[in-house]
């Protein structure tokens, strides 16, 4: 229990000034970007960041750029004071919480549709005047990119913005959002960002459910049913380790388990850990990725299976 109060910064320029003054003192800075409503998974990212740098910035910002108007931006959970209390409870606390009001407000009026038309899909920044998007063209396409058409361009763009504002040495992302983590790593490589990106292992509740801010929306019954995801993933890994290397069969069995529990599959894919391309036979490192709906809640989860 540190009870260390983080400094709360809401202004971009003030944030950058803080980082530059710290760098001038030869301090290294770790960034953990979040959308708030923090849980143990987020806290583990912060603990990971603190292994690599002297100072830690946690950003709390629900990014409208990664939601379409049909997605759950308006109901995304939020509890700023609760988040601050959780951050204070960390052994080392954190140094700064960057909590901007609106990262897309450039102080200009734009009456018209500014952005967001992605093949007819309109994102939540409609009319904001923002028009620059970072596209990681291959990795953004499959899996979550299919059902969430503006998601990865929105994530890559806001992370590019955060990197340019916070100027961290290290940034930590959770491997729960596996595709997101790969997209960010590729972006950093391709755009030569001077940021080391670290992937932190997925955290589970004791019963196996992957930690997620969205879990709070699950009813008791849905939560029970949702355990089928992690169970199916563990079974797939175990089967693979026993020599069942046929991905088509493994995939079918994951789908059946989740559907039997009452889940509605968005996708189940077995892909290469690096390229995220579909694999037929388990050889090198693969990852089994799942997205499924329980009631109105869309959950994602994954498990890595390394070459044995």
User: Positive or negative CA dihedral for 62, 64, 66, 68?
Assistant: positive
Q: Which of 164, 219, 221, 248 binds its own copies (CB under 8 A)?
A: 164
Q: Is 130 in the site for its own copies (CB under 8 A)?
A: yes
Q: For residues 172 and 198, is the Cβ–Cβ distance under 8 A?
A: yes
Q: Which of 105, 131, 280, 281 binds its own copies (CB under 8 A)?
A: 131
Closest distance of CB 308 from its own copies, Å: 25
Which residue number, 151 or 294, has a Cβ lying nearer to its own copies? 151
Query: How many chain residues touch its own copies (CB under 8 A)?
Result: 33
Distances in Å between the Cα of 199 and the Cα atoms of 44, 64, 263, 287 are 11, 24, 28, 14
Tell me how far apart the alpha carbons of residues 197 and 219 are, in angstroms, rounded to a whole number.
35
Which residue number, 77 or 114, has a Cβ lying nearer to its own copies? 114
Q: Is 138 in the site for its own copies (CB under 8 A)?
A: yes
Q: Which of 76, 80, 133, 267 binds its own copies (CB under 8 A)?
A: 133
Q: For residues 297 and 218, is the Cβ–Cβ distance under 8 A?
A: yes
Q: Per CB under 8 A, which of residues 5..44 are in contact with its own copies?
A: 12, 16, 24
Tell me how far apart the alpha carbons of residues 294 and 78 are, in angstroms, rounded to a whole number.
21
Q: For residues 295 and 306, is the Cβ–Cβ distance under 8 A?
A: no
Closest distance of CB 139 from its own copies, Å: 7
Which residue number, 5 or 190, has a Cβ lying nearer to its own copies? 190
Q: Per CB under 8 A, which of residues 181..240 are in contact with its own copies?
A: 186-187, 189-194
Q: Which of 53, 157, 225, 228 binds its own copies (CB under 8 A)?
A: 157
Q: For residues 229 and 235, is the Cβ–Cβ distance under 8 A?
A: no
Tell me the pairing of strands 297-305 and 286-294. antiparallel
Lookup: tokens for 119: 């093949």
Only segment of 102-110, 172-180, 205-213, 254-262 that touches its own copies (CB under 8 A): 102-110
Q: Is 123 in the site for its own copies (CB under 8 A)?
A: no
Q: Is 143 in the site for its own copies (CB under 8 A)?
A: no
Closest distance of CB 165 from its own copies, Å: 5
Is 52 a catalytic site residue? no
Spell out a b/e string for 268-287, using b for 16 or more CB atoms within 10 Å of the CB, else e.
bbbbebeebeebeebeeebb
Query: Per the residue annotation, which of 39, 42, 130, 217 is the catalytic one?
Result: 42
CA atoms within 13 A on the CB side of 42: 23
Tell me how far apart the alpha carbons of residues 128 and 131 are, in angstroms, rounded to a whole number.
8
Lookup: tokens for 114: 């500014």
Which residue number, 152 or 294, has a Cβ lying nearer to its own copies? 152
User: Catalytic residues, which ones?
Assistant: 42
Interface residues with its own copies (CB under 8 A) are 12, 16, 24, 103-104, 106, 114-115, 130-139, 156-157, 160-161, 164-165, 167, 186-187, 189-194
């Amino acid at each position: 229990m540190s009870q260390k109060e983080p400094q709360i910064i809401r202004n971009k320029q003030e944030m950058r000034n803080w980082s530059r003054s710290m760098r001038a003192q030869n301090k290294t800075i770790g960034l953990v970007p979040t959308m708030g409503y923090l849980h143990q998974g987020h806290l583990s990212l912060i603990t990971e960041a603190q292994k690599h740098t002297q100072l830690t910035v946690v950003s709390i910002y629900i990014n409208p750029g990664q939601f379409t108007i049909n997605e759950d931006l308006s109901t995304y959970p939020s509890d700023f004071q609760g988040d601050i209390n959780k951050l204070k409870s960390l052994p080392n606390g954190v140094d700064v919480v960057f909590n901007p009001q609106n990262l897309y407000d450039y102080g200009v009026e734009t009456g018209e549709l500014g952005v967001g038309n992605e093949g007819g899909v309109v994102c939540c920044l409609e009319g904001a005047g923002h028009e620059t998007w970072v596209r990681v063209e291959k990795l953004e396409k499959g899996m979550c990119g299919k059902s969430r058409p503006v998601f990865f361009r929105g994530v890559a763009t806001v992370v590019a913005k955060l990197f340019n504002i916070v100027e961290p040495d290290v940034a930590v992302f959770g491997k729960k959002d596996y595709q997101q983590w790969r997209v960010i790593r590729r972006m950093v490589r391709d755009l030569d960002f001077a940021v080391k990106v670290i992937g932190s292992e997925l955290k589970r509740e004791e019963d196996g459910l992957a930690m997620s801010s969205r879990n709070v929306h699950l009813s008791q019954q849905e939560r029970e049913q949702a355990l089928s995801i992690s169970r199916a993933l563990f079974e797939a890994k175990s089967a693979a380790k026993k020599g069942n290397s046929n991905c088509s069969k493994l995939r079918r069995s994951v789908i059946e388990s989740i559907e039997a529990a009452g889940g509605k599959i968005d996708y189940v894919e077995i892909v290469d850990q690096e390229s995220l391309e579909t694999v037929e036979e388990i050889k090198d490192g693969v990852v089994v990725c799942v997205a499924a709906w329980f009631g109105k809640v869309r959950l994602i989860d994954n498990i890595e299976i390394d070459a044995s």
